[in-house]
């Protein structure tokens, strides 16, 4: 487990798996330059996420493909998640807003 920690402490801060997060992949798909990776990446604030209930019945999306629901979606910090993933982190600190 490689964890990206936030420097700011918060009483509701939790450790989350990046693979369990639904986040905007625009930065990955369009090759947007985020920052110089030569220095160690430091995250000041934890990401903010919403927690969702996963439906017990299967749902289908476009073209009849099975829709895979995720428990968490990133509200603030999509670029931080993208950078963490790019640098090989598997976990990240975040705050669940609707807990």
pLDDT (tens digit, 9 = 90+) per residue, 24-50?
Answer: 888 777 777 666 554 566 788 999 999
SS3 28: helix
Report the chain's terminal Cα–Cα distance, integer Å: 25
Number of domains in the chain: 1
Report the Cα 10 to chain-centroid distance in Å.
18
For residue 6, what are the CA distances in angstroms to 38, 39, 46, 88? 19, 16, 5, 16
pTM over 0.85, yes/no: no
Domain that holds residue 79: 3-96
CATH number at residue 72: 3.90.1530
Looking at residue 3, what is its pLDDT?
93
| Residue 3 token pair | 């964890």
Tell me what the mean pLDDT of segment 53-72 comes to: 87
Looking at residue 38, what is its pLDDT?
45
Query: Which of 25-34, 48-57, 68-77 comes out lowest in average pLDDT?
Result: 25-34
């Amino acid at each position: 487990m490689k964890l990206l920690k936030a420097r700011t402490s918060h009483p509701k801060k939790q450790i989350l798996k990046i693979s369990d997060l639904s986040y905007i992949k625009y930065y990955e798909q369009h090759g947007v330059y985020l920052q110089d990776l030569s220095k160690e990446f430091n995250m000041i604030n934890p990401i903010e996420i919403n927690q969702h209930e996963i439906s017990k019945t299967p749902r289908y999306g476009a073209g009849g493909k099975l829709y895979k629901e995720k428990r968490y979606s990133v509200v603030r910090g999509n670029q931080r998640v993208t950078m963490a993933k790019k640098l090989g982190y598997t976990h990240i600190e975040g705050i669940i807003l609707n807990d």
